[in-house]
Chain A
């Protein structure tokens, strides 16, 4: 059952991205940023938590989930360390993802060369 809800949730989020690419003049980079910011706002006003409860990884893996992780990290750090947590929380919570992205990009960059999609 959790596979199905994750599939539906992730699918809907990605469909929104596809519709934005097809129907608006937004560049892909702007859509990515929009997804993160939307995730932050939805989490902050308490709307994203129920989506995560329903969809699990379907909600946390897409970029809106990155925004969700940022906000939860900030909230947690504020509870533990107070004011400074505003600045440290988001980065701490997402450090593993960001660090891994940089590390694996470097590895891939060293091994492979870019090609046009045929």
Chain B
């Protein structure tokens, strides 16, 4: 039986993540994880005319890079699962345009890296695909225009604001038996705690992450000590503290084995990134770059990757709706 509970499934054929690739922006490339990324941009444009076109290029080049690293051709790939933050997920659809690989577009806001890994690994485990690519991207400048204010307006950033990562992560999930494997998938539900502050996404997403992590442990029968690292996507400093508090109230103590991609990505004091990094590309590039490397080096052997998304629509917020949170988790083990 593959289904363990309401939200969690066990992947009996254990699909493997055979290769990853990451591209990040200049600021991310000046952070503490710089050496783990495959490619670092020199400016926000990368020779393109707009930030949106740059983001498309980032994702497209990352797709080429992961294929190249894995020595695969587009014909070897059964599906691409990808999503991003822009309206109609244009970064993803334009990025895959020339590849001629069947494409499944996903929208999970910043949870997209794990959402795509989760759905992709279930496709592989179900026998519907031999190789799928899970990927995502975000760009600080295009995300500011989409969700807050255009950069041209030059508005001040608030202390709780997070910094949308410019970057992309791509991973090939395969039936091939090499590399770390995905053993469990926990798909989260939408959690709405009534947070309306678009500058405080961490607080909107933390309850969703807590709900998914709690369900994961409850349904798998594991406890936090099973994992070397429980790592959330982009809760940041504020959201991470809220998560630890909520879990502690439910008798789950993740202190000492918890971290967050948004915190790992930047040196928040030196780089003035306020509450930490965020965006699809945050979890995407930190996983594809740093975490995958640590798994290959066997410095980490069991991780629970929990990507968190704030399903935020500026239109809905203006109409008085709150920001919904969602979180998905995959257990990745050597």
Contact = CB atoms under 8 A, between A and B. Distances in A.
A and B from one complex: yes
A109 B149 contact: no
Interface residues of B, number: 21
B297 interface: no
B156 A21 contact: yes
A25 B141 contact: no
B199 A114 contact: no
Given A21-B158, A29-B155, A109-B152, A115 B198 contact: no
Given A25-B199, A28-B155, A28-B156, A114 B150 contact: yes
B275 to A, nearest CB: 13
A95 to B, nearest CB: 22
B44 interface: yes
Contacts, number: 35
B140 interface: yes
Interface string A96-118: 00000000000001000111101
Nearest to A118: B27
A79 interface: no
A42 B225 CA distance: 61
A21 B199 CA distance: 10
Interface in B135-161: 140-141, 148-152, 155-156, 158-159
Nearest to B51: A114
Contacts of A22: 158-159
B156 A25 contact: no
Contact of B152 (A18, A27, A29, A114): A114
